[in-house]
Structure 1
Amino acid sequence: MSNSRSSEDLPSQSSLSSITRIEWQTAVLALVIYGGFLGLTWFWQSLPLAVVIALGGWLIAWHGSLQHEVIHGHPTRNRSINDAIGWPPLSLWLPYAIYREGHLTHHRDEHLTDPIEDPESSYLTQAGWDRLGLVGRSLARWNSTLFGRLILGPLVMIVSFLAQEAALLLEGDRARSNFWIRHAIGVAAVLVWVIAVCGMPLWLYLFGFVYVGAALTRLRSYAEHRYADHHDERTAIVENSTLFGLLFLYNNLHVLHHQRPGVPWYRIPALYQRHKQTLVLINGGLIYDGYLDVARRYFFRPHDDLRHPLHRSSSSMISSEYL
């Protein structure tokens, strides 16, 4: 049975996306995340530092998962309301509007992993690889291990993203400028609350919330995709992840998300179990038994050759990996 035929065996997107006016599960989740953020930043001095960092990193990563959910049309039928829920820049570095634009481009599945067409690709063209130089290639190899992705990955992701955005702004991209002006207003509001009102040191927020949260997000994205000849086989499944499944809003069952991106997070586990055989057939058996299995395989070993197989003699630009 072909991948396309297997995909047809899944329920249609329209039947899975028939929702009430408000998905209360997601609305409540948003209240928990924003309420938790306000509570943690307000009471941080009453808590052990390790607890502040653990909860802060969790909340920022969870907020990123919520943003991903609203990008895909949840929890209401009104995009303006959804965007308002996802907009607050708790992570500081990634404007929601740019995330939305890039992530929806990423969902052109026929281009998955392509460093030119997929904004979330971790691969490089041969020309991009050559431009890194010896030191850059060593850092890139280190970043392709899970250990490196968790320790170094957030810095690589944030710095490379900001450098690319700075280049666009210097070229006079007005749409980008408008995105960043609105984002800067939100960042200022977050920092006034955190530093001026709650008295948290900037270093603690940048490390304990932003960096740790980015590292948790890098754990999710680390093994999500790898190149295969058929685009359906480029998307992985990470099973048996109760805690991280909740943190990632079940994006660990990633092939289901790419096959039916409009399915709300709370319906994914049951739908996956119901159609597991079909989904594993679709993705060619790219499946892991939890994130410990991912760590066992790749903690100190590269996940893949960073040079994309279809661009090893290309003169194309480096990919814009930021999620």
Structure 2
Amino acid sequence: MPENRTATVQSPPPVSRIEWPTVILAVVIYGGFLAVTWWWQSPPVLLVVVIGAWLIAWQGSLQHEVIHGHPTRNQWTNDAIGWPPISLWLPYTIYKESHLVHHRDEYLTDPIEDPESYYLTQVAWNAMGSVGQMLSRWNTTLLGRLTIGPAVMLFVFLTQEALMILRGDRQRGMIWLRHGLGVAAVLYWVLYICGMPFWLYLFGFVYAGAALSRLRSYAEHRYADSYEERTAIVENSPLFGLLFLYNNLHVLHHERPGVPWYHIPALYRRDREALVALNGGLLYDGYLDVARRYLLTPHHDPRHPHHP
């Protein structure tokens, strides 16, 4: 096991019992969702898609925030804020469970131990066949991650979940039952109350929103012998930084997962030198830099080096 190194990151500022910036953000996201679905026929369809995709991805960032104990000290209240399934495909309970497992940093990128890893074992790689391997390699380019990435993710995730339920996992089945009731309510609002076509919501909101979220996660982690060097930093991205609630400064989040999103930029600026030293300089100058390096070039070999 590599030696653990800790950055000399000072303690973050204290936060109040109710973090009002996050409460306001939740109101903006859900209020914006209701507004854009209600008035979807008024603006140009392209603008509707841009706003809808942004809100779906933004809610994913909000869900990530509430998983880590924000905006109140009551986790039931936080979970209620993150639960509405406007993205349709991902039950909040499952996301919460898997993401907290992901934060065992010593296992980052491990395809068995890290549920958010994009790496594969050699056994899984061999079982994919030539077509599957070709798609997997394409999915490690940024263009591939943004185009087929959401479809690959949905297929793998939903297949795994269906197999768990078919094998008799009743707890998983109950999670999906509750999630299904929420999805039915969302679709009733979108399709019947607002009259939006299902194809527009599915592709313009859900799929495009998932693609925006894939942009965030694309270069977050890469295998290195030292697990502190497996987490990246994407600087100088104010627009996407707001969308991702500054998880682009990802090494800081893994060092201090309890820091609220609105404190991250100042804390990063204060401790930048220590954080960059901690992660071995795994640093990108904005998402255009990520695109310049990896738009058509694989970010990594899909096969994890420790699972031959």
Shorter-chain TM-score bucket reads over 0.9
After superposition, the CA RMSD in angstroms is: 1.1
Deviation, structure 1 residue 11: 2.2
2:266 paired with 1:280: no
Q: Which residue of 2 aligns with 1:151?
A: 147
- Residue of structure 1 aligned with 2:300, choices 292, 299, 304: 304
Deviation, structure 1 residue 293: 0.2
Q: Which residue of 2 aligns with 1:162?
A: 158
Change over 3 Å in CA distance of 1:17–1:186 after alignment to 2: farther
- Residue of structure 1 aligned with 2:190, choices 190, 194, 206: 194
The aligned runs of 1:1-323 (5 Å cut-off) are 4-7=4-7, 9-12=8-11, 16=12, 18-312=14-308
2:69–2:258 CA contact under 8 A, matched in 1: yes
What's the CA shift string for 1:197-241, capped at 9, x where partnerless? 000000000000000000000000000000000111000000000
Q: CA separation in 2, counterparts of 1:222 and 1:150?
A: 9
Deviation, structure 1 residue 10: 1.3
- AA aligned to 2:307 is H
Q: CA separation in 2, counterparts of 1:4 and 1:135?
A: 40
Q: Which runs of 5+ in 1 are unaligned?
A: 313-323
1:22–1:77 CA contact under 8 A, matched in 2: yes
Q: Report the identity percentage.
A: 69
- AA aligned to 1:62 is W
1:3–1:232 CA contact under 8 A, matched in 2: no
2:219–2:299 CA contact under 8 A, matched in 1: yes
1:27–1:75 CA contact under 8 A, matched in 2: yes
Moved over 6 A (4+): none
2:10–2:271 CA contact under 8 A, matched in 1: no
- Equivalent residue of 2:114, what SS? coil
1:228–1:234 CA contact under 8 A, matched in 2: yes
Higher relative contact order (CA 8 A, sep 6+): 1
Q: Which residue of 2 aligns with 1:321?
A: none
2:5–2:228 CA contact under 8 A, matched in 1: no
Q: CA separation in 2, counterparts of 1:42 and 1:151?
A: 28
Q: CA separation in 2, counterparts of 1:172 and 1:92?
A: 23
Q: CA separation in 1, counterparts of 2:23 and 2:301?
A: 41
Deviation, structure 1 residue 18: 3.7
Q: CA separation in 1, counterparts of 2:143 and 2:5?
A: 38
Q: CA separation in 2, counterparts of 1:80 and 1:258?
A: 23
Q: CA separation in 1, counterparts of 2:13 and 2:32?
A: 29
TM-score using structure 1 length:
0.94
Deviation, structure 1 residue 123: 0.0
Q: CA separation in 2, counterparts of 1:61 and 1:236?
A: 20
- Equivalent residue of 1:155, what SS? helix
Q: CA separation in 2, counterparts of 1:280 and 1:111?
A: 20
Count of equivalent residues: 307
- AA aligned to 1:217 is S
